[in-house]
Amino acid sequence: MANRDYYEILGVQKTASESDLKKAYRRLAMKFHPDRNPGDQEAEARFKEVKTAYEVLSDPRKRAAYDQFGHAGVDGAAGMGGGPRGSGNFSDIFSDVFGDIFGGRRGGGAGMFRGADLRYNLDLSLEEAVNGTETTIRIPSWTPCGTCDGKGQRDGKAPDICPTCKGHGDVRVQQGFFSIQQSCPQCGGTGAVVTDPCPDCSGQGRTEHTKEISVKIPAGVDTGDRIRLAGEGEPGERGGPPGDLYVQVMVREHPIFTRDGEHLRCQMPIGFVTACLGGELEVPTLSGRVTLRIPEGTQSGKVFRVRGKGVKPVRGGPQGDLLCRVVVETPVNLTRAQRELLDQLGETLEEGGKRHNPETSSWLDKAKRFFEDLKF
């Protein structure tokens, strides 16, 4: 294995660019890394072989010698460490491969960090959510300290270079034959330390205040939807980009309507006489009133559809409908005269049988057959 062609080991052509080499190494290093293959001696050997091949081919001088003289031109040179990236330093490329796992939230150059994202819970009425609205919210925020000009040091002096990481913001922790790059524990990855804190901001370089932001709520949003306001989160540190603000929508319960996707639903009580004789009923919607015709003999639970009076989905699609479910209300607190009238009505209805009460008659017939089959 020691004499295998380095290009063959990495699976690249001899004309491969530096980027091609790096991609090939990343893929193979992740595949054969000992942490992913515990106890697999063959995988560990392949990992070391891939490491050696990359150390040689990533160094322009070593690569030129290898291309001209083969292994004889680089014997003893590979695996000896080196300087910065480009001279075959394995720990540098290792941190590049695993940076997403061990790295911080670095957002730019040395010491620059992206600001944190923020979330704001916004309560809306159903009308506001369906029709859309624009509102102003107040959120806590940070602004650079005016006393120290955002530097954190008294009198606006620049912070001192961190003695642990020498201003790099990162330190390396050696583990076996490779090292892990992580944020400096003393400066938190900024590369600088405040030795004489500003009295107004306590060395943070920023002070808290409240800012107002205008938020446009699109029509059709629902509970759980989020609105992203780019750059309205916490400001970055040492010139890093700001985070984002996420407005989380919560729609309050409505006294009449409930939402079902793009449809609205409501329960509508109607009187006993209206259900029997039919009539017209005025129904509220979110865009005004409509008149609903109740046909003669309407049963409790029947659903009437009012088209186009629902919700226009925020992500597109046709507007929903209003679904009105009627509930026939049984009269209560009857007077003696009313009871007598209902008794007379009941007698005439019973004489009509199925003609007046088809559902009741049908159910009674089924119950009768059921008892006959069981011979009760």
- Per-10-residue mean pLDDT, the chain, length 376: 78 88 87 81 88 88 81 58 37 40 41 76 95 92 78 78 81 68 76 83 80 92 92 72 90 95 94 92 92 92 94 91 94 92 88 75 73 66
The span from the CA of 199 to the CA of 23, in Å, is: 49
Where is 273: in which H helix or E strand?
helix 272-277
The span from the CA of 198 to the CA of 196, in Å, is: 7
The span from the CA of 262 to the CA of 256, in Å, is: 16
Which pLDDT score, from 0 to 100, does residue 2 have?
47
Q: What SS3 class is residue 27?
A: helix
Residue 42 is classified by DSSP as H
Residue identified by tokens 């985070």 is 243
Work out the angle at residue 53's Cα, subtended by the Cα atoms of residues 50 and 59, and round it to the nearest 5 degrees: 135
Predicted TM-score of the model (pTM): 0.56
Where is 183: in which H helix or E strand?
strand 178-183
Return the CATH superfamily for domain 113-155+204-253: Urease metallochaperone UreE, N-terminal domain (2.60.260.20)
CA dihedral 54, 58, 59, 62 (to 10 degrees): 50
Nearest in space to 288 (alpha carbons), one of 314, 308, 263, 313: 308
| Burial status of residue 87 (CB atoms within 10 A of its CB: 0-12, 13-18, 19 or more) | middle
Which pLDDT score, from 0 to 100, does residue 111 have?
46
Which pLDDT score, from 0 to 100, does residue 248 have?
93
Would you tell me how many other CB atoms lie within 10 Å of the CB of residue 95? Answer: 21
Q: Where in the chain is the domain with CATH 1.10.287.110?
A: 6-97
Contact criterion met (CB below 8 Å) for 125 and 251: yes
CA 202 to chain centroid, in Å, comes to: 34
Residue 303 is classified by DSSP as E
Strand partners, 172: 181
Which pLDDT score, from 0 to 100, does residue 96 have?
42
Q: Where in the chain is the domain with CATH 2.60.260.20?
A: 113-155+204-253, 258-328
Could you tell me whether strands 192-193 and 178-183 are parallel, antiparallel, or unpaired per DSSP bridges?
unpaired
Which pLDDT score, from 0 to 100, does residue 294 have?
93
Return the CATH superfamily for domain 258-328: Urease metallochaperone UreE, N-terminal domain (2.60.260.20)
Would you tell me how many other CB atoms lie within 10 Å of the CB of residue 29? Answer: 22
The token pair that represents 210 in the structure block = 């409240």
Nearest in space to 82 (alpha carbons), one of 32, 287, 99, 74: 74
Return the CATH superfamily for domain 6-97: DnaJ domain (1.10.287.110)
